Structure 1
């Protein structure tokens, strides 16, 4: 899929100047999280189809120009340069936070609007920018909700099996800063020096009651889960995955019953409204499986950009100036952007946040364990 281009056009319109183009950045090949990329793209494509069915943008069809980032920041930055030369009105998408940060930096330098769909790293840019907005909640918001879930469930000694990454390091810091004043302790297990078996030994030695997977999927996450589940010493240890690996069908397919009861973060309301329910049905048909929250993020991204392009025109500077006035009914609530302390981009404060797991009795069913306090949204 490298370098693929997806176009959604109305018949008989081949002149590129007759189209309004959005550059879509998604991970579609390894080492990117392909399943997340597929869901993100499905949501964007569905929204583009609906925009065009309703007459497009100023009578012109909307077109997605898709580039596969493969979780590579350098590749993504090069794609931004290419898309800028192709004349896209804006950029959309990306799932991986480190990649989205590279995209945001390059978009800011070029003066190209970027609506980030799914990446959560707080410091998406080094300094405040007018060119970037984000739909996903900041990592500090979601992961504090997750930490509160752990505390409420009685967990005070929490181990994290972590690989080297700005994203994982940020998550560990958020957890430690939130848990420590409340009597919680975070014990780090460096996966550069550990095997699944040694992770189990570390949990026993640390008297940890919970293990959080801050690692890649499928490996080493799958091997760690299997090792912990089979270790009788750890029968009472909770396994968690705040980054959301169990959201996708591949998790359940690979791990079966072992993949149940692993709490993760999901950015959906407990009940979808009429728009969300309709879009959810269409996404299920398009994906041939239950849509993840990432698919809804993709749809909302295009819905917001289409509204801005209709109301403010396709000039890039006008789009960037429009973030403050956005008010769009999305699949998960009304979307508005504002400035938030310590976050340099225009931010939706906040998308709904849940802690969810797969029901051990029915691993295909998700259970809501906690929702973010409404006062924080």
Structure 2
């Protein structure tokens, strides 16, 4: 762990407090997720400034597009540090968030991760005080997803996976949890197999569920279409634990074929008054229902604004704020604790659902399990 920087940031009276915001806003990143994340940031910044800002100084976002590229994201952190940001926030893709965490920590800049869930956000054995996270760790959600599969009688599960640290971690978590419940997991290579060949392998496997651990729209959408069209696989449940069906782009691409595909969603069963109000504002801004990622964006800025108000804008002071912050978030009260496997300060009990889009109304969601 690096020693926290004690270098104070310039803070002339009335000058904005800068926050460096990172999100995937172009391909190959999930640009819709990035758009929702930034919408949440922007709304929370507007509301913080309307309430007086940070000691009379306005918050100001400096947004950079990561395009799901770890090197591009690390370079953006270096740029933002040079611009004098008090902290860096954001990112959706886990592999990118790891690069952001490493770069921010090395440069002495606090980082609050919004949406990436990979447990090992920093290298094993290198815990840091500078990094915290609003999103839940992957192990919580994916174990809940495995429990859902077992409870639904689908103990033999196939995964169509692409190479990635994130997908590999998810596969391991699923295999371990399924095995503990008497289930098994079969791996299919989503890069090597065409959709048709994957359907053949799936039929031969005898699996009752196929989980898509892949990018979207390619190859996820062609795989969904192929499985839906194959009469041998009529009873196979398709799942997407990483959350792709949450977004309108998914249903726009797949139509009715994209419904009935369970995924992980980081929302409570019912939003409270704050969540309802923020959701209405986000819907008006986005022109569509806000995803859980948009709520994560709002919550991230709410946490940082409170930390800045109570601990000051100095980076070292801010890096020591996580354990002291208590914030009313859109999805429940937010407080941070140490999670050993993550190596960062973590909102440990953010809400998690297994949900899907209702086949009778693909614009509506059904909650299938909570945890």
TM-score range, shorter chain: over 0.9
CA, structure 1 residues 17+102, in 2 after alignment: closer, same or farther (shift >3 Å)?
A: farther
Is the 2:14–2:57 contact (alpha carbons within 8 Å) kept by the matching residues of 1?
no
- Aligned match of 1:177: 176
Are positions 1:342 and 2:344 aligned together? no
CA distance in structure 2 between the partners assigned to 1:338 and 1:320 by the alignment: 14
- SS of 1:187's partner is strand
- RMSD over aligned CA atoms reads 0.9
Find the counterpart in structure 2 of residue 189 from structure 1: 188
- Helix, strand or coil at the partner of 1:343: coil
Partner of 1:360: 359
Shift of residue 17, structure 1, vs aligned partner: 7.2
Partner residue of 1:375? none
Classify 1:152/1:17 alpha carbon distance in 2 versus 1 (closer, same or farther; 3 Å): same
Deviation at 1:341, TM superposition (A): 2.5
Within 5 A, what are the aligned runs for 1:201-240? 201-240=200-239
User: What is the Cα deviation at residue 156 of structure 1?
Assistant: 1.0
Shift of 1:192: 2.3
Alignment of 1:94 with 2:91, yes or no, is yes
* Match 2:69 to one of 68, 72, 82: 72
In the alignment, what sits opposite 2:136? 137
1:176-222 deviation digits (Å, cap 9, x = unpaired) = 01111211111000122111101101111110110000000011000
1:243-254 correspondence runs (5 A): 243-254=242-253
What is the CA–CA distance in structure 1 between the aligned matches of 2:181 and 2:113, rounded to whole Å? 33
1:61, CA displacement in angstroms?
Answer: 0.8
Deviations 1:95-122 (A, max 9, x none): 0000000000011111110000000000
Q: What does residue range 1-377 of structure 1 map to in structure 2 within 5 Å? A: 18-126=15-123, 127-372=126-371
Cα distance, 1:16 vs. partner?
Answer: 10
Aligned mates of 2:66, 2:349 — CA distance in 1: 26
1:11 counterpart residue number: none
Q: Deviations over 1:346-367 (max 9, x none)?
A: 0001210000001111111100
| Structure 2 Cα separation of the partners of residues 170 and 252 of structure 1 | 27
Instruction: Kindly report structure 1 stretches of 4+ aligned residues shifted beyond 3 Å.
Output: none
The answer for the alignment partner of 1:7 in structure 2 is none
What residue is the counterpart of 1:5 in the other structure? none
CA distance in 2, matches of 1:178, 1:263: 17
In 2 relative to 1, CA 121–355 (structure 1 residues): closer, same or farther, beyond 3 Å?
A: same
CA apart distance, 1:335: 0.5
Alpha-carbon displacement from aligned partner over 1:55-93 (angstroms, at most 9, x marks no partner):
111101100000000000000000000000000000010
**For the residues of structure 1 that align with 2:341 and 2:259, how far apart are their CA atoms?**
35
Counterpart secondary structure, 2:320: helix
Question: Shift of the alpha carbon at 1:342?
Answer: 1.2
Structure 1: unaligned runs, 5 residues or longer? 1-14, 373-377
Give the TM-score normalised by the residue count of structure 1: 0.94
**Which consecutive unaligned segments of at least 5 residues does structure 2 have?**
1-11
| 1:328–1:194 Cα change, 3 Å | same
Structure 1 position 257, deviation (Å): 0.8
Q: Distance in 1 between matches of 2:312 and 2:13?
A: 17
